[in-house]
Every structure is written in C-alpha cells, then in structure tokens.
C-alpha cells in the first residue's frame, strides 16, 4: 500500500504525483492544507518531524524528500521507466534534479511567496500574535527565518531578486537543452522533465513566462508534457483555482519586477 502526504499546489508534491501517474501506481491521498498549518499536526509530525511534504509511505516504510521519492519509485516500480539505461544519460538526469535541491526549489518558493502566497498568510494570521504563532511553529530555524522574510518583506526581500536571477539562468539552460531535443535529456522523457515541469508551470502561473519569450522551444516542451496522461491526473486535476487566481493577480507585479531587475 502506498500513501502520499502531499498538497495540491506544492511543486515538489506535483513532481511525485507525475511519477506515480506515469507509472500507473495506485496510491492513497493524504492531502494537507499548508496555509492552515496542517503540516504541524502531531499526527504528521510523527511521520516527518520536519513538517515538510511530500512524504511517501510504502508498506510502512517512510520516504521523504521529493527527488528521493522519485528515485525510489523508479527503482521499485520498473514499468514505464523514467531513467535511461545509459549511465551517462542517467547521470545527466540526476544533475538536473540535484540542481532543484541545491537551490532552485527554495527559489521558486521565494518567488511564489513574495509575489502571491504571502497574502494568504497575512490574511489568515491577521494579528501580530497569530502571525508569530505561525512562524514559531516552523521547526527548522532556517526555514522559519526565510518564511519570516518572504511574508514580511515580499518583493522587497533581497532573496526575491536572487531567486529571479537564478531562474533567468536556468531558463536559458533549459532552452539550450531543448534546442536539439524534445526533452531535457536527449535519451527521452525522464525524471528530469517531470521534475522541472511544476517549476516552469509555476513561473508561467506567476506571470513570469516572459523569461522565455525568446525561447519558443520551452513553450513547445511545456505543451508536450501537459498533453500527457500523467499531467492530467498528476497535476491538472489537483489544480487549486483559488491559488491560480491569486498568482494571476500577482502577474503584473512579476512583470514589473523582471523589467526592474533587467
């Protein structure tokens, strides 16, 4: 039996659901509302004391960290493979995914919160005491500090400009990879494509698709992935329209921020 503790619009949860869908793996949903703080419930903290989703529970074994979960699913469920048999191509896929863990995941959170999601938190925790309670519930001091900065400072946070710069860079590298291939690794559709799809779609939802205005191959790559059955069941059916509308309203601020940073 497989259980997945996840959130509808979490990019790292979307990544895992894409792999589950691609491999036609049945799973039981344990959806957590992150804005209301369900990740801090004692039941979930016993499963992951870091209060972070996604978490995969497979026959009692607890697997955390989205990329680790994806590798685990690839190793345990061999059908519909998402890693090449060529060791060099497998390494290329791993390099792409490692970059997400090395900073790009945190940076998409910075862009998302500074432009849009901070408003949800400020509305839900409308007093200084309530907001402080939300921050103090975050067990990791580093994550707590980052969350404070994003919520309190928005696009004025220095982290925002750094995150925008990081995504300008990776978008250009994705464009280069897609110049002569339909996929990020030229051996075919891989974990790398499903890994990056949620992040690039999030940029689009935030109004930041102008980052690849000069790279139409990225739009074609997105269209190919969004046409898959895995996308329909792993992402689209979980889309939270309230969140998408919130990000849509942030798009004008996103465009202004890109033009300001050059």
CA torsion 99-260-217-194 (nearest 10°) is 30
Q: What is the pLDDT of residues 18-34, one digit of tens each?
A: 999 999 999 999 999 99
Domains in the chain (CATH in brackets) are 2-76 (3.40.30.10), 87-261 (1.20.1050.10)
Q: What is the pLDDT of residues 206-244, one digit of tens each?
A: 999 999 999 999 999 999 999 999 999 999 999 999 889
Opening angle at CA 177, ends 172 and 181, nearest 5: 140
**Integer Cα distance of 237 and 152 in angstroms:** 32
pLDDT on residue 44: 95
168-174 mean pLDDT: 97
Q: What is the pLDDT of residues 110-127, one digit of tens each?
A: 999 888 888 888 888 989
pLDDT on residue 262: 63
Cα–Cα distances in angstroms (integers) from residue 190 to residues 64, 134, 200, in the given order: 21, 38, 16
98-106 mean pLDDT: 95
Q: What is the pLDDT of residues 153-166, one digit of tens each?
A: 988 899 999 999 99
pLDDT on residue 17: 98
pTM, to two decimals: 0.90
Opening angle at CA 101, ends 96 and 107, nearest 5: 100
Contact by Cβ (8 Å): 79, 119? no
């Amino acid at each position: 039996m497989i259980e997945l503790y996840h959130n509808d619009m979490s990019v790292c949860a979307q990544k895992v659901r894409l792999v589950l869908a691609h491999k036609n793996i049945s799973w039981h949903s344990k959806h957590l509302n992150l804005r209301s703080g369900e990740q801090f419930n004692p039941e979930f903290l016993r499963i992951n004391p870091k209060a972070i989703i996604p978490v995969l529970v497979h026959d009692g074994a607890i697997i955390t960290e989205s990329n680790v979960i994806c590798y685990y699913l690839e190793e345990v469920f061999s059908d519909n493979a998402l890693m090449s048999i060529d060791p060099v191509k497998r390494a290329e896929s791993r390099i792409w995914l490692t970059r997400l863990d090395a900073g790009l995941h945190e940076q998409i959170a910075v862009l998302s919160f500074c432009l849009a999601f901070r408003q949800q938190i400020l509305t839900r925790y409308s007093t200084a005491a309530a907001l402080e309670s939300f921050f103090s519930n975050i067990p990791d001091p580093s994550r707590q500090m980052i969350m404070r900065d994003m919520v309190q400072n928005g696009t004025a946070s220095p982290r925002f400009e750094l995150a925008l710069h990081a995504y300008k860079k990776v978008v250009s590298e994705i464009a280069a990879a897609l110049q002569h291939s339909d996929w990020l690794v030229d051996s075919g559709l891989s974990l790398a494509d499903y890994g990056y799809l949620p992040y690039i779609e999030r940029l689009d939802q935030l109004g930041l698709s102008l980052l690849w205005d000069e790279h139409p191959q990225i739009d074609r790559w997105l269209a190919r992935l969004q046409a898959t059955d895995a996308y329909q069941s792993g992402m689209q059916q979980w889309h939270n329209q309230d969140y998408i509308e919130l990000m849509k309203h942030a798009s004008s601020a996103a465009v202004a921020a890109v033009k300001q940073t050059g």
